[in-house]
Amino acid sequence: MKSYAKLVALAALTSVGAFAQMPLVKEDTTQISEHVWAIMGFPNIAIVVGSRATLVVDTGLGTKNGATAARVAAKLAPNNHTLFLTTTHFHPEHAAGEPGFPSGTLLIRNTRQQEEMQKHGQEMIDMFSNMSPQNKELLAGVVLRAPDVTFPAEASIDLGGVTARLIWFGEAHTKGDELTFVEPDRTLISGDVVQNKTMPMIFGDGGTPSSWLAVVDKVAGLNAAHVLPDHSAPGDGSLVAQEHELISEIRTRALALKRQGVSVDDAGKAVSADLKKLHPDWPNTNAAAFVKSVYAETP
Ligand SMILES: [Zn+2]
Ligand SMILES: [Zn+2]
């Protein structure tokens, strides 16, 4: 029943097709900053390369895609024998490629995300498997393993000449959203928390609009120069302020409509139409799901 509700939430975003037909993880990379590369796709996968060790952020969906990501990481830094893997959140296209990574890969993620994984990880894998034959094939035999390291709020990994700070700032798209901040590059691997021209979406029992805003406030304090989101194009540090503005905008408008007694469905339509006018170049301005979250949060 719960999975069904989530599936409906996904379908409402009209992006269920994107989840059913995800492109395979590619072999080519785009350089984001001195030490950070990305395999652009769904999701974008980040690879942070130091002189001694490499960190991969996110896996792609299923073993085959995870193996591709690991192979690309090895090709970028053939002499690095230590491979770290972390995940932006527990959803299958971000985390369920782990079995494709070589044995000896050090899997690390924040405690909240691991709790969500234990609670809902398998349920999500089953849901994704049922979306298409391709997903079913990719996810066949995937077993989620326990991480080697978990941390409550922050962990720093020294990769040799570059440090990756893995940070949990609070709940947003999920409860366990993880941010990776790479220094000295000042590159933020932002997961779903900061996106580019993309509607925010709170999944299942994830965060709330106000907890998401609080997270973005903390992210602003990092003063990122480059941002690599997981489902949209990379950009500069201004994406952080843009995310804050977008969420505030939706929230303010939705709250005003709620106060006027407008139904949540009508408010979703009105806010989406307003956003379309404000951002005619954005691929999708359907804010209905987020407006629902605003209505649900406020009495
Ligand atoms: Zn997600
Ligand atoms: Zn995703």
Give residue-wise pLDDT tens across range 158-167. Answer: 999 999 999 9
Count Cβ atoms within 10 A of the Cβ of residue 74 and give its class: 0-12 exposed, 13-18 middle, 19 or more buried: middle
- Rounded to the nearest angstrom, the distance between the alpha carbon of 43 and the centre of ligand 2 is 6
Residue pair 257/267 in contact (Cβ under 8 Å)? The answer is yes
- Rounded to the nearest angstrom, the distance between the alpha carbon of 231 and the centre of ligand 2 is 7
- Rounded to the nearest angstrom, the distance between the alpha carbon of 89 and the centre of ligand 1 is 7
- Rounded to the nearest angstrom, the distance between the alpha carbon of 256 and the centre of ligand 2 is 30
Q: Is the pLDDT of residue 282 over 60?
A: yes
State residue 106 phi and psi, 5-degree precision: -90, 110
- Rounded to the nearest angstrom, the distance between the alpha carbon of 113 and the centre of ligand 2 is 14
- Identify the nearest ligand to the CA of 116 by its number: 1
- Rounded to the nearest angstrom, the distance between the alpha carbon of 88 and the centre of ligand 1 is 9
pLDDT one-digit tens code per residue, 41-98: 999 999 999 999 999 999 999 999 999 999 999 999 999 999 999 999 999 999 999 9
- Identify the nearest ligand to the CA of 124 by its number: 1
- Rounded to the nearest angstrom, the distance between the alpha carbon of 192 and the centre of ligand 2 is 7
Closest CA to 73 of 104, 48, 40, 92: 48
List of long-range contacts for 68-71, beta carbons under 8 Å, 24+ apart: 68/24, 68/25, 68/26, 68/27, 68/100, 69/25, 69/39, 69/45, 69/97, 69/100, 69/101, 70/100, 70/101, 70/102, 70/105, 71/27
Q: Is the pLDDT of residue 34 over 70?
A: yes
Can you give the pLDDT at residue 16? 64
Rounded Cα distance, 25 and 55, in Å: 17
Q: Is the pLDDT of residue 37 over 80?
A: yes
Count of alpha carbons within 13 angstroms of residue 196, beta-carbon side: 17
- Rounded to the nearest angstrom, the distance between the alpha carbon of 95 and the centre of ligand 2 is 10
- Rounded to the nearest angstrom, the distance between the alpha carbon of 138 and the centre of ligand 1 is 18
Q: Is the pLDDT of residue 10 over 60?
A: no
pLDDT, the chain, mean: 94
- Rounded to the nearest angstrom, the distance between the alpha carbon of 266 and the centre of ligand 2 is 27
Q: 129 by DSSP, 3-state: which?
A: helix
Count Cβ atoms within 10 A of the Cβ of residue 239 and give its class: 0-12 exposed, 13-18 middle, 19 or more buried: buried
- Identify the nearest ligand to the CA of 231 by its number: 2
